[in-house]
Amino acid sequence: MGRLEELADSIISGKADAAVAATEGALADGTPAAEVLTDGLIAGMQVVGERFKNHEFYVPEVLIAARAMKMSMAILRPQLVEQDYEPVGTVAIGTVRGDLHDIGKNLVAMMLEGAGFEIMDLGIDVTPEQFVQAVKDGAGIIALSALLTTTMPAMKDTVEALNAAGIRDQVKVIIGGAPVTETYANDIGADGYGPDAASAAEIATELIAA
Ligand code: B1M
């Protein structure tokens, strides 16, 4: 098995030590950091996402895979910066105003990172104004999570705040969370809806390529 295949496998099985060793090994072999990222980390996280969507993996498996990914990323990041690697895009993610649930939001952030995006994690209880600022700071996508029916309207307020700031056309908006539906996403003028973390990463990838 090649190093990158080994790396992808270690990510899928959540073996952080093996993932770190494979990352270091691939770099020592002279493999460019971008290739280690794409064919090792991203390839592995893609399988994790598919298995999660198909209910073959549950939240704990995704979390340990993401931990392995993050540890490998820590080794790769300085090399990527040195080699002027451009991330696929920048996503500002947050749980909307009034909402403190962050487990799903964190999973979405991990899958997005696993898909090659740079993440600006704005945390929980994020106001529309903070999302507007993130777009001004360079986010090309904003990703909104809500777990409460009472906080879903903050998603609409965020889209409206982007319109009011005159920057709606500079950014794609994706939304999700247990009470959120595709119909709601269409109603408020979002660009995409993800029923789960893996779908959110897929949609973000499609939107950035469009
Ligand atoms: Co809260 N809570 N909670 N809670 N809580 C729910 C959501 C609830 C359904 C429980 C219930 O009543 N059955 C209910 C909401 C009812 C409703 O409005 N429909 C509820 C309530 C009422 C409350 C409080 C109001 C309770 C109270 O104080 N009276 C309060 C509100 C606090 C606030 O936010 N202001 C509250 C508080 C809390 C805790 C702090 C105790 C804790 C949160 C801890 C934390 O997140 N750090 C908590 C928890 C843990 C839950 C449950 C049990 C689990 C949520 C979770 O993490 N699920 C939840 C009941 C349940 O779902 N069984 C409940 C696992 C997670 C992986 O799934 O977040 O759905 P989820 O994310 C998924 C998808 O939704 C999607 O991808 C993820 C992975 O596939 N997704 C996206 C999420 N964001 C996305 C964004 C995308 C795309 C996909 O694009 C950007």
Question: Running DSSP on this structure, what letter comes out for residue 170?
Answer: G
Q: Is the CB of 192 under 6 A from ligand 1?
A: no
Token pair, residue 128, equals 């529309």
| Cα gap 11→5, rounded to integer Å | 10
The residue whose CB lies within 8 Å of the most ligand 1 atoms, and thus the one to mutate among 53, 58, 100, 101, is: 101
Helix (H) or strand (E) holding 205: helix 197-209
The model's pTM: 0.91
Mean pLDDT within 103-120: 92
| Cα gap 175→181, rounded to integer Å | 9
Please answer whether residues 179 and 193 qualify as being in contact, where contact means their C-beta atoms are separated by less than 8 angstroms: no
Q: What angle do CA 54, 149, 133 make, to 5 degrees?
A: 90
| Cα gap 94→102, rounded to integer Å | 8
Mean pLDDT within 30-58: 93
| Model confidence band, residue 169 (pLDDT cutoffs 50, 70, 90) | very high
Residue 183 predicted with pLDDT over 90? yes
Token pair, residue 184, equals 């709601």
- Provide the total of helices (H) and of strands (E) in the chain, helices listed first: 10, 5
pLDDT score, position 81: 81
The residue whose CB lies within 8 Å of the most ligand 1 atoms, and thus the one to mutate among 147, 155, 202, is: 147
Q: Is the CB of 104 under 6 A from ligand 1?
A: yes
Please answer whether residues 209 and 201 qualify as being in contact, where contact means their C-beta atoms are separated by less than 8 angstroms: no
97 Cα distance to chain centroid:
20
Residue 35 predicted with pLDDT over 90? yes
